[in-house]
Structure formats: structure tokens, C-alpha cells
Structure 1
Amino acid sequence: MSSPQLPKVNTLLLSIPEPHVLLITINRPKNFNSLNPEANWEMHRVVDWAEAEDSIWCIIITGQGDKAYCAGFDLVTGHHQRAENKAKNSVGGESPSSGFGGISNRNQARKPVISAVNGYSLGGGTEMCLASDIVVATQRSKFGLPEVKQGLTAASGGLARIVRSLPYQVAAELVLTGRFFDAQEAYSYGLVNKVIPNDANVVEAALEYARTITKNSPDAVMLTKQGLLLALERDSVTKATKEWLDSDEATVWRNGENLTIGLRAFATKQKPQYQNPAPIIKKHGSKL
């Protein structure tokens, strides 16, 4: 099976370490892998590509080196960018609609995202982790939403996500003080799935999850993620379930070959050999 042609990028490293798994490495170690506007938009475009690429079933995001996963937005570059925008009487340019790193405010993402945190994950970095499906972190990793310390606020989806993940008073303390918290504390809150020793390979730990996920039917995995997100975002559980099972994605799953493959494998006590999912054709005719 040949790997897909990866997008061309300047601030990221892209690879396919396992079949159906895209590894995105933020490659700005001298800047603690903070994202400047170029890197932010590259992340958006790469995740867009992965969402539409049928051969990609799972995404892992990490940072180059052992100092940081992502230390948030590059405030020095952002300050100059904002000054230039004001001079031009324009705004924007820093973040795409999908939020920080192309995932923190992405609506109805299909592919599971695993964050492999290897150091500082601050501001937008923590917002990316909050939007991930699974988070693995080394013991020395530090998290935090310290935006208020710089006169900012976590406006890329992080506030809404953290207050839905944690008790209100815990979330309020973290975001109003802006303090850092370590991987073990994040684990105690359920924000991190697994804490590993500092000398362990965090990408390999993430790949263990990815291998397990990609053994399953990609149609079922992506539809299951959609069901989770709809339940999180809608005000009614029953309405969210109906919307989910009435969706284009559910129709493709029901009619897809992978459902037949899975049931046949179960009946014959064989290992299923799942294939790339069929493309989602939305009602207006465009392919996802």
C-alpha cells in the first residue's frame, strides 16, 4: 500500500510512521514550538488535508525536541503582526476558523487526534490538547492557560472545552490564575490519558494508541467520534443522537463495505481487514 503524497510545509515535519497514521511534528524548537501565523495556518491546511484524505485514519501531533509540545502563540511575531494589521486598518490573519493549530475550535472533526506532549504545552498548546481525543505526556510536561498574565484570553475554544471537562471551580482557578500545572495534575483531572517517564518515547506511546485505533473500522471510529462531539455540543442527548444517526456520515457507514467486513470477520472468527472508508458526499455534493 503506497503512502499518500504529503502536503508541502515549512514549519512542520510530516510523516506516515504507521499505515493510516499521520504524524505532525511542530518544527520550531528554538521557539519552544510556539506557532507564528505561518505555522498556525500550515497546521490548519495540513489537518484539512488529513480530514479529506481517505487513507489517513488517525493523526498524532507532537513538538520537535524534548522541551515543548507547543508553547502557544508566538507573542513576539503576533505583536508585530497585530501592529501591521492596525497600520493597514485590517484585522485577523493570526488564526484560521478551525482555531489554534488547526484543531482547537474545529467543528465536527472526523479523524481521531492524539497529542504527544513532550514538555511545555501552554496557551494554545493546552487548547490543542483540550481538543484532542487522547493525550499522552511525559512526567516533566507542563500545561496551562496563562493568557490573562499577558492581557489576553484563551479565545480559541479552550475556555469552553475546559469548563465542560472539569468542575467549574477547578476550571475557573486554572484560567483565572493562569498557573501552570504538571502532567500528573492534568492526569488527575482526566485531561491526560497516560503519563510516561521522561526518558520514554512519547511518540511511540501515542503510536500504541494509534495502532489500536487503526485496527478498528475507520467508518465506525469516525462516526463514533462524531457522535461524541455532537453529544458534547448539543443541548439535548436524544436530539444529538437523532442528528448523529440521520447524518450523511451514518448513511455512508451503514452502506459501507467495512460494516460487512467487520460482521463477516466476527461470524467467521477471522481478523477483519478494513479498507479506506468511502468518501462522505454532503447533500450539496462536495466530498469531505
Structure 2
Amino acid sequence: MLKPPTHSSEIEVSFPAEHVFQLTLNRPKSLNAMTPQMEADINNLLNWFDEEQSLWVVIITGAGRLFCAGADLKAWSNRQQGGQSNEQEGIVTSPHGFGAVSRRSVSSKPMIAAANGGAYGGGVEMLLNCDLVITGDDAQFALPEVKRGVIASQGVIPRLAKVAGHQLASEMLLLGRTITAREALDRFHFINCVVPKSAVLATAVEWAQQIVQNSPDAVQCTKRGLILAGQHGNIEQAVIAHAWSPESKREYKGANIKEGLKAFSEKRKPVWTNPAKL
């Protein structure tokens, strides 16, 4: 029986399918606006997930009608008015970004966002660093920071510029306007799939189950390659860094590559084992 680390009621944890871990942001009355406690809980739980060999995919979702409304602006205002806020230092010393997700690059395990209702501000920043994003047909998204005198500074600016292009990224970031789920999919390209709102979480679980049908070594090595592609300036650098990564060493020396090739030769379904610790 898996035992996640102790956490507050601001996060709920569950295991909706074999090898799948689910984190649910649990402040529905506040539209799951991020608090320091929630962020600390997410960080501790994801660190545990990274180390737990039997868990291969994580789904992140929100309780209630919205995935995440971003930062708690009232608390932020109190810190500003009291002279207790140091945003620049906070950005530099926060390696995993908003919600311990928006700049998280340590993990090679897939993250799926089930973005019920959509997201605002930091919630969108979190989505842009997830590998797969599923949302409902009623969802809306916005980066309204400029309307409040602040900026979206935890990774979404370069990520959105990369996936949407400079002009479309500017449309969200400089106007601060709200877009629909269909726009997020078709124009801005940071959503994978739009489904009926009642099917968001079920679809995320289905996609997670499809992932765990594949070799966990190969999946995690492939995700490391995607991360490195975003960190290096050219293809050759990314390919070489990926080839020498710990995930590549485990992939090519591990049991699952042997099992996958043997199963193909024997015309049977492979039986994967948990990856070795890196």
C-alpha cells in the first residue's frame, strides 16, 4: 500500500489506475487559488512521486469549477503593502516555479493536466509545463496579470511564445484577455484535447492508462529528450545531451528494452517492470 507524505487538506491524493497518481487542488471556494501551503504540499508530493518506482504518470486537476485561478492576490497585496514582498528573489530561488509545477524540469515522468473549467494566471503557467492538457468545452483561460499591475513571470512567457508565436503570445500577455478552450486548442496551441466538461478527468485517466501500456523506461527517456529540446539552442546539442542522460543509460541497459524487443519477436504483449532508480 503506497503511503504519500503527509499533506494538508488543500490537496487531495488518489490512485485512479495502476501506476497513476492524482493530485487534486482542493480549495474550490477560492477557485483553487494557490497558497504557500498548497505549493509546499504539491512540491513534497511530486518529489515523492518522482522517487516512487511503481508510479509512472501523474494527473493534476482541481476540485470544483476551475483548475486554478492563479495566485491569491489578496495575500499578495498584503505582502506588498507591508513591504514583505521580494518577487525577483522569489522567482530566482523557486526552481520549480508557480505551484511547484510551472518550471519543474527535474522529473522525467509524464504530467497530465485535467484542466476542469480552465485556468487563470499562474494556473495557465502550470498548464504550459504539463506534457498533456485536457479541458472541457466550457473552459476559459487568461493571463490577466497586467490588469493587476503584476506580470506572469514563472515560465509562461517563453513557453507561450514558443508554442503560439510572438504575436499570439502578446495577445494573451499584453491585452490580458480571456480566451475559450477552442481558441487555446486551435490558435494558441497549449491544449491537447477539448471534451465535454463531464469527461475531463475520465479522459485524463484514459490517456494515463494509454501511457502506462508503454515501456516506462522509454516513456521517461523520451520526456527527458523533450525537456532537453527546450533547454538547448540547437538540435545537435539536445541530441547529444539526451544520449548521455541518466534516463538514456537506464533505457539502453535496462530490462524493459529487452522485454519489448523479445515480446515483438514472440508476437505477444510485453510485460513491463518498474524502472530502476536513476
Query: Do 1:261 and 1:272's aligned partners in 2 also have CA atoms closer than 8 Å?
Result: yes
Question: What secondary structure does 2:14 align onto?
Answer: strand
Query: Where does residue 190 of structure 2 map in the other structure?
Result: 191
Query: Where does residue 138 of structure 2 map in the other structure?
Result: 140
Query: Where does residue 24 of structure 2 map in the other structure?
Result: 25
Query: Where does residue 60 of structure 2 map in the other structure?
Result: 61
Question: What secondary structure does 2:67 align onto?
Answer: strand
Query: Where does residue 177 of structure 1 map in the other structure?
Result: 175
Matches within 5 A, 1:161-172: 161-172=159-170
User: Which residues of structure 2 form unaligned runs of 5+?
Assistant: none
Return the letter of the residue paired with 1:228.
L
Deviations 1:218-256 (A, max 9, x none): 110010001011112210101110110111221111111
Return the letter of the residue paired with 1:106.
R
Query: Where does residue 52 of structure 1 map in the other structure?
Result: 51
Q: Would you say 1:214 and 2:225 are equivalent positions?
A: no
User: What displacement does 1:267 show?
Assistant: 0.8
- What RMSD, in angstroms, separates the aligned Cα atoms of the two structures? 2.0
- Residue of 91, 101, 104 corresponding to 1:103: 101
Query: Do 2:118 and 2:135's aligned partners in 1 also have CA atoms closer than 8 Å?
Result: no
| Aligned residues with identical type, % of pairs | 37
Would you say how many aligned residue pairs link Structure 1 and Structure 2?
Answer: 275
- Residue of 151, 154, 159 corresponding to 2:152: 154
User: Which residues of structure 1 form unaligned runs of 5+?
Assistant: 281-288
Matches within 5 A, 1:103-142: 103-142=101-140
Query: Do 1:23 and 1:59's aligned partners in 2 also have CA atoms closer than 8 Å?
Result: yes
TM-score by length of 2: 0.94
User: What displacement does 1:76 show?
Assistant: 1.3
Inter-partner Cα distance in structure 1 for 2:166 and 2:225: 24
User: What displacement does 1:217 show?
Assistant: 0.6
Question: What secondary structure does 2:211 align onto?
Answer: helix
Query: Where does residue 271 of structure 2 map in the other structure?
Result: 273
Inter-partner Cα distance in structure 2 for 1:241 and 1:87: 41
Inter-partner Cα distance in structure 1 for 2:6 and 2:219: 28
Return the letter of the residue paired with 2:201.
V
Greater displacement, 96-105 / 16-25: 96-105
Query: Where does residue 284 of structure 1 map in the other structure?
Result: none
Query: Do 1:85 and 1:92's aligned partners in 2 also have CA atoms closer than 8 Å?
Result: no
User: What displacement does 1:169 show?
Assistant: 0.5
Greater displacement, 23-32 / 137-146: 137-146
Greater displacement, 67-76 / 106-115: 106-115
